[in-house]
Amino acid sequence: MRKNIVAGNWKMNKTLQEGLALVDALKVALADRDKVNCDVVLGTPFIHLVNAVASIGDKKIGVAAQNCADKVSGAYTGEVSAAMIASTGAKYVILGHSERRTYYGETDATLKEKVVLALANGLTPIFCIGEVLEERESNKQEVVVKSQIENALFALSAEDFSKIVLAYEPVWAIGTGKTATSAQAQEMHAFIRKTIVDKYGKEVADGISILYGGSCNASNAKELFANPDVDGGLIGGASLEVDKFMPIIDAF
């Protein structure tokens, strides 16, 4: 069966010292729980990866980068390759977040390259999809999300596609305090799963974790995660403090 996952996306927050203090606090809080019913992943800036992995040791917290290059290696100043990320011990990479699409011009075509390189280096992509407000208001959310998935991911073999985690993040809900209602989230997640069934079949679709992202927090996580097709969350602001992140993990 597919995994439930709660993944933090720290975005461009936390110095090295602040980040490691948060990792320590989370380790303590998680050690306090008899049972944690989901996988926990921390999406940190690049500079934290090595130390976060070392600090976590063999504990069950995964570490994710928030981006990788669309090239293997070479003269690409400022870029970080999938192989470099994998060499830190991080196991995941968040790709296609709407902030990267909007502010850094990432397209489905670039993302397709990034996904292939991430998978070739043994990283699990947490691949973000979602519509902007105007698209939602003109009822185009399904067309938009379907084309994002088709263009960036549907050239993958079923075996490779099965290694991906998806995150549905309606862009109008990111950093705005607005959340999709539980019904809107379930409707889109079911649509995404159906899109995967049509391409790869039910077995593959049933195995893919689809996370919800966009102002998911302690007060709405339980209701969102209770939906049959919502397999966890990609958490922005609420992942930056242990007291806000732990209740989301505990929502499972």
Encoded one letter per residue, x for contact with ligand 3PY by CB under 6 A and - for no contact, window 51-90 reads: ----------------------------------------
**87 marked as binding residue:** no
Angle at 145 between CA 114 and CA 116, to 5 degrees: 15
**237 marked as binding residue:** yes
Q: At closest approach, how far in Å is the CB of 237 from ligand 3PY?
A: 6
- Closest listed residue to residue 43, CA positions, set 169, 181, 170: 169
236 forms part of the interface with ligand 3PY (CB under 6 A):
yes
Helix (H) or strand (E) holding 64: strand 61-65
**207 marked as binding residue:** no
Secondary structure of residue 165 in the 3-state scheme: strand
Q: At closest approach, how far in Å is the CB of 201 from ligand 3PY?
A: 29
Q: Output 56 or 64, the one with its CB closest to ligand 3PY.
A: 64
Q: Output 200 or 214, the one with its CB closest to ligand 3PY.
A: 214
Rounded CA-CA distance 118/178 in Å is 31
Q: Output 199 or 244, the one with its CB closest to ligand 3PY.
A: 244
Encoded one letter per residue, x for contact with ligand 3PY by CB under 6 A and - for no contact, window 164-193 reads: -----x----xx------------------
CB atoms within 10 A of CB 106: 20
Structure tokens at 76: 């690409």
Active-site residue (options: 48, 135, 169, 189): 169
**59 marked as binding residue:** no
Q: At closest approach, how far in Å is the CB of 112 from ligand 3PY?
A: 20
211 forms part of the interface with ligand 3PY (CB under 6 A):
no
Give the list of residues 6+ apart from residue 208 with CB closer than 8 angstroms, or none: 2, 161, 162, 164, 165, 166, 193, 196
Q: Clarify whether 97 is annotated catalytic.
A: yes
**9 marked as binding residue:** yes
Alpha carbon of residue 132 to chain centroid:
18
Q: Clarify whether 169 is annotated catalytic.
A: yes
Q: Cα separations (Å) of 83 from 75, 80, 118, 153?
A: 15, 8, 8, 20
Secondary structure of residue 33 in the 3-state scheme: coil
With contacts defined by CB under 6 A, name the span among 29-37, 50-58, 79-87, 231-239 that binds ligand 3PY: 231-239
Which residues lie across from 5 on neighbouring strands?
39, 232
Total residues at interface with ligand 3PY (CB under 6 A): 12
Rounded CA-CA distance 125/217 in Å is 23
Active-site residue (options: 97, 99, 106, 189): 97
Rounded CA-CA distance 28/210 in Å is 28
Residue numbers in the known binding site for substrate are: 9-11, 175, 215, 236-237
Catalytic residues: 97, 169
Q: Contact positions toward ligand 3PY, by CB under 6 A? A: 9, 97, 169, 174-175, 213-216, 234-236
